[in-house]
Amino acid sequence: KKPKTGKGWIPSFKDYQDVYNDIAAILEDNDYDDGSYAPVLVRLGWHASGTYDKETKTGGSNGATMRFEPEAGHGANAGLVVARDILEKIRQKHPWITYSDLWTLAAVCAIQEMGGPIIPWRPGRTDKDVAACTPDGRLPDASKEHKHIREIFYRMGFNDQEIVALLGAHAIGRCHPDRSGFDGPWTFSPTYFTNSFYKILLETKWIYKKWKGPVQFVDQESGSLMMLPTDMALVKDKEFRKHVERYAADEKTFFDEFAAAFGKLLELGVPFEKDESFRFKRTTDDE
Ligand code: CCH
């Protein structure tokens, strides 16, 4: 077997599939949170990409600058060290892959392995140094509402429909008081990727949570689910609500539109050398 390094060596689809399989294998091998690292890996891929600014063409997944201070220490990134540390182990086994390709591939793997849609993904990102770190404040602030969400996502180049589709990722994972200050999961199945975020958002009676923490909502019936002020903005705003209703009614539509928007998010600002036909689909079955 030839070593996977050195000038002229180019990774094949199979090499990326091997990385994918190794990530898939460690997702549920733990007592972490609800029994899976998958949600926090999706959050890492999103926060690595969501710093993109289309005017200055800075930020985005290319660079993996969250490896460095100050970006690692930005308030929005609290807790993501867990995700970066798990992936460090994968990287030691596959030292040829860039962190920026690894982090985005891990998010794709996590979504697919949780039963979500196939996300279009292609390699080609390079890692940058600390000088490419983005300024604090590029990621959304959960205590705000429609105007803020639009400002943040329009800056990346998304429209209202794509914003609502992306937020459906809150079907998975949870808020941690020691990270964001908020508390609780959005759904009863936080390790399954479904359209349940929209259904629960529409069908539940939400009340303000009575506590000393930041303003958030809790479901009146069980008291165990939560919504952020930014999540609630999706049903208060007429344009957003239209799409919440579409996705709650039809999971296939949500999956298709989520896959397109998330695939786009992971590619913002990346100067790919290969065209879109180089995108490929990975499965754990190596199909
Ligand atoms: Fe999110 N998210 N997110 N989010 N998010 C949090 C957790 C997750 C906002 C705020 C928060 C997206 C958009 C937004 C995930 C995926 C996406 C938390 C809790 C806050 C706060 C963090 C903690 O305490 O651990 C806001 C505000 C917005 C936009 O307005 C988008 C887009 C995505 C992906 C497509 C995932 C997954 C989690 C769960 C992480 C975990 O550790 O369980």
Residue 273 and residue 207 in one domain: no
Give 92 Cα–ligand 1 centroid separation in angstroms: 28
ipTM exceeds 0.90: yes
- For residue 38, give Cα distances in angstroms to 69, 172, 178, 188: 24, 9, 19, 16
Query: Residue 1: its pLDDT value, please?
Result: 60
Residue 20 and residue 132 in one domain: yes
Query: Residue 274: its pLDDT value, please?
Result: 77
Query: Residue 134: its pLDDT value, please?
Result: 97
**What six digits make up the tokens of 46?**
């999103």
Give 276 Cα–ligand 1 centroid separation in angstroms: 28
Q: How many degrees, rounded to 5, is the angle at CA 277 between CA 272 and CA 283?
A: 100
Which range marks the domain in which residue 132 is found? 13-138+262-277
Taking the chain (287 residues) in runs of 10, the rounded mean pLDDT of each run is 74 92 93 97 98 98 98 98 98 97 98 96 96 98 97 98 98 98 98 98 98 98 97 98 98 98 98 79 57
Residue 230 and residue 95 in one domain: no
CA–CA separation, 166 and 38 (whole Å):
16
Query: Containing H/E element for 166?
Result: helix 160-167
Residue 215 and residue 185 in one domain: yes
Q: Which atom of ligand 1 is nearest to the CA of 144?
A: 27
Query: Residue 282: its pLDDT value, please?
Result: 67
Residue 267 and residue 129 in one domain: yes
- For residue 243, give Cα distances in angstroms to 100, 150, 207: 31, 15, 23
Question: Quick one: which of 205, 75, 78 has its CA closest to 137?
Answer: 75
Give 46 Cα–ligand 1 centroid separation in angstroms: 8
Residue 134 and residue 19 in one domain: yes
**What six digits make up the tokens of 195?**
């359209």
Question: Quick one: which of 287, 214, 286, 203 has its CA closest to 20?
Answer: 286
Ligand 1 pocket: which residues have CB below 6 Å? 39-40, 42-43, 46, 79, 140, 142, 149, 166-167, 169-170, 172-176, 179-180, 182, 228, 230, 262
Phi and psi at residue 280, to the nearest 5°: -140, 160
Query: Residue 5: its pLDDT value, please?
Result: 73
**Hey, is 174 helix, strand or coil?**
strand
- Residue 121 pairs in a beta bridge with 280
**Residue 81 domain-assigned (yes or no):** yes
Query: Residue 273: its pLDDT value, please?
Result: 82
Residue 134 and residue 156 in one domain: no
Question: Which residue has tokens 């990270």?
Answer: 179
